[in-house]
Amino acid sequence: MKKTFPIIAVVVVLAGLGIALLAREAPVTVRTAPVARGEFLVTVFATATATVKADEEAILSAQRVGRITRLPVEVGDAVKKGAILVELDLSEEEVQRANVRAQARAVREESERTLQRMEDLFRRGYVARQEVDAARRAAEVARAQHEAAEREIRISEGYSRIQAPFDGVIATQPVEVGELVTVGKPIVTVVNLARLYILATIDEVDAGRIHQGQPVIARLDAFPDRPVRGYVDRIGAVVTGGKLETRTFEVWIRPAEKDPGMKPGMSADIEIQTARVPETLYIPTQAVLERGGKKQVYVAEGGKAVLRSVETGHSNWNFTEVKAGLMEGDPVVVTPDAVGLHEGGRVRVE
């Protein structure tokens, strides 16, 4: 029994040391960024990837049934307005047009001869005025029908030759010579590369901040290191989206200068500059926490996380303006969701 007390004392001491060691928690690894001072750009981002489009893009389709006899252009070729892009077989059409033209001309000539004969008989007193008037009306109808037939023939001839509606480039041509096409079959697509724009969708909450002429920076996914500067050219008149969808409106963005690498169909990320603060403090937006209606940030001080309340101003996806609560150079934690991070906790900065 005399040896029991020393053993118990040792156990108690060891337990106390264990509790002390456990109490000294391991530091949480965090990343920080200094509070910066400078010009702050207030920006709005699109809700989804934007798309490059052309002002003029035409999908030309067949207006009659026919077999393709000539395709003088290929995908990628530059064409001028009025250039022939496709020709359909004219042999059957020409026979039909010749018959229609001959019949219409014969009816007109016969009605004119009848009118002349009736006028001659009227002068000689063999027929009444009513018969002459009837012959004149018949001649006028025949003349109108002949002219209408000629117009239809010209239109039909136009259907057999598809021409470029404007200067542009052949974008698609999903047909081959000898192929039989039906009415409405897409034959060729022409795009004018001289006037391109970027179509973006913006969240309705930003509707009041977007105005025509605002500067825009776009980054094409194909050339992410080559920003394209432009401006807001048009703003959609309606907001679209269902009950369970984000409600958005469209914005047309016009590049300030022609970019030879930009092509219709390319995707881009856009950033619309809605305001500019010449001199202010700002931090990464991801560093800001909102708890109980208050904005707070963690600051790494002396190896510990110190929680500070801040007053913020303008904000975007990347940065948030700080009006009070921080000083230039303060190391704010940009990983506030790190596991184990709390007020007063030990931290290790990467």
Write down the pLDDT at residue 106. Answer: 87
Higher pLDDT among residues 325 and 17, named by residue: 325
Q: Which of 86-95, 185-194, 299-308 has the lowest mean pLDDT?
A: 86-95
User: Do 136 and 258 fall into the same domain?
Assistant: no
Summarised one tens digit per residue, pLDDT across range 282-323 is: 999 999 999 888 999 999 999 999 999 999 998 887 899 999
- Is residue 234 located within the same domain as residue 329? no
Segments forming the whole domain that contains residue 259: 45-55+195-277
Quote the number of domains for the chain: 3
Both 180 and 74 in a single domain? yes
CA atoms 221, 212, 47, 45: torsion sign: positive
Q: What is the pTM of this model?
A: 0.65
Tell me, yes or no, whether 156 and 200 share the same domain. Answer: no
Beta-carbon contacts of residue 34 (< 8 Å; ≥ 6 apart): 328, 329, 330, 331, 332
CA quadruple 68, 72, 73, 78: dihedral positive or negative? negative
Mean pLDDT of the region 195-213: 94
Indicate whether 237 belongs to any domain.
yes
20 in any annotated domain: no
Q: Does 63 share its domain with 157?
A: yes
pLDDT, one tens digit per residue, over 214-249 is 999 999 999 999 999 999 999 999 999 877 678 999
| Lowest pLDDT segment from 14-28, 174-188, 271-285 | 14-28
